[in-house]
């Protein structure tokens, strides 16, 4: 999930990333050409975060430089030739595509040398905290590049990212089908829950090796918390805004139902939480309504993950 992800996590560029980026750009700057330029008849204009890009009518060699970009590509039947290490680590995505070339750790730490080598005709990425302008300037010299805004200061924009990438792929009709199918499943879940829906308080907790995180409606959010919001399920007052809490504040994690994820179930903190007297006093714990769910897709980035979360919600909420 995300402190603002992408903690299921995203955070700013480290000094090391800046140094590596500077060194890399110096190495490739002399190799960049105008090969990314296309004739008007060969491309479509796509407006995005950093401007307008003329993208190929039928892209063939796509780099998905972030997890949201990879999800969008897979949903719309594109197989990227390159993606990031971070995106390939997600189990729910890795089992849906054959491995592709790594173009860096994540969308903020890309290998420009590698990207230049594999000759993409379209690059898709997310601009997590407004840090991509310099990188965009370099990438757009290699291939048409589209940057989507992931975080708006309050929540993640996974739906908007998908729509933009679908436009870049020229697959807006197919994207609409995906969105409609998701909305239909939301409506079905609402209908099947009936009168229980407004009275079932949902808590979402992730236990990291070094901290306990509550995912809320804003600030510290995850894909799953936005889905809970779409359904209209109430949240505990303590989770209007997500936050990290101490073990002594574990009472803030209570709800009628707790969905629990963990980065490492063997970690000491995870065991401490589950064995702590305050945890055992929680209403959901005493009622046997703590459900352990998969970290990777509860903190995912698109409609593949969203449907897996909905599978869990149907399983545990509709009985």
* pLDDT over 90, % of the chain: 71
Go through the chain and tell me how many residues it has. Answer: 319
The angle subtended at Cα 152 by Cα 233 and Cα 228, nearest 5°, is 10
Helices (H), the chain: 15-28, 67-75, 85-88, 91-94, 112-118, 133-142, 158-169, 172-193, 223-231, 268-275, 277-280, 283-286, 295-298, 303-317
Domains, the chain, in order of start with CATH, read 42-169 (3.40.50.1980), 182-315 (3.40.50.1980)
- Strands 145-149 and 122-127, by their bridges, are parallel
DSSP class of residue 101? E
Q: Which of 152, 120, 155 is closest to 139 using CA atoms? A: 120
224-274 tens-digit pLDDT: 999 999 999 999 998 999 999 999 999 999 999 999 999 888 899 999 999
Q: At what angle do helices 172-193 and 158-169 cross, to 10 degrees?
A: 150
pLDDT of 286 > 80? The answer is yes
* pLDDT over 70, % of the chain: 87
pLDDT for 35 = 43
At 18, is the pLDDT very low, low, confident or very high (cuts 50, 70, 90)?
A: very low
Contact 255, 290 (CB under 8 A): no
130-142 tens-digit pLDDT: 566 777 888 999 9
Q: What is the pTM of this model?
A: 0.87
Q: On the CB side of 22, how many CA atoms lie within 13 Å of its CA?
A: 6
pLDDT for 293 = 98
Report the range of poorest mean pLDDT among 31-45, 148-162, 238-252.
31-45
pLDDT for 108 = 79
pLDDT of 46 > 60? The answer is yes
Tokens describing residue 231: 């359904």
């Amino acid at each position: 999930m995300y402190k603002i992800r992408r903690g299921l996590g995203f955070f700013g560029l480290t000094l090391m990333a800046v140094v590596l980026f500077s060194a890399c750009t110096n190495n490739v700057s002399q190799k960049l050409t105008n090969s990314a330029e296309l004739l008007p008849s060969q491309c479509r204009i796509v407006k995005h975060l950093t401007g307008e890009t003329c993208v190929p009518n039928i892209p063939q060699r796509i780099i998905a430089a972030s997890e949201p970009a990879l999800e969008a590509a897979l949903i719309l039947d594109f197989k990227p030739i390159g993606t990031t290490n971070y995106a390939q680590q997600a189990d729910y995505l890795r089992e849906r595509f054959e491995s592709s070339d790594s173009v860096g750790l994540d969308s903020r730490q890309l290998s420009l040398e590698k990207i230049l080598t594999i000759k993409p005709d379209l690059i898709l990425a997310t601009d997590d905290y407004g840090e991509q302008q310099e990188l965009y300037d370099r990438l757009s010299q290699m291939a048409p590049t589209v940057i989507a805004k992931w975080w708006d200061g309050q929540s993640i924009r996974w739906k908007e990212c998908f729509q933009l990438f679908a436009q870049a792929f020229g697959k807006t009709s197919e994207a609409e089908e995906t969105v409609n199918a998701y909305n239909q499943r939301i409506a079905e879940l609402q209908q099947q829950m009936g009168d229980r829906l407004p009275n079932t308080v949902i808590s979402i907790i992730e236990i990291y090796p070094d901290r306990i995180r509550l995912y809320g409606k804003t600030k510290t959010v995850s894909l799953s918390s936005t889905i809970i919001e779409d359904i209209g399920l109430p949240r505990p007052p303590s989770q209007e805004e997500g936050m990290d809490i101490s073990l002594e504040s574990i009472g803030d994690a209570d709800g009628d139902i707790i969905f629990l994820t963990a980065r490492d179930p063997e970690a000491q903190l995870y065991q401490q939480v589950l064995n702590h007297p305050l945890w055992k006093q929680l209403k959901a714990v005493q009622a046997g309504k703590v459900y352990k769910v998969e970290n990777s897709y509860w903190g995912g980035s698109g409609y593949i993950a969203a449907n897996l979360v909905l599978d869990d919600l149907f399983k545990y909420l509709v009985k």
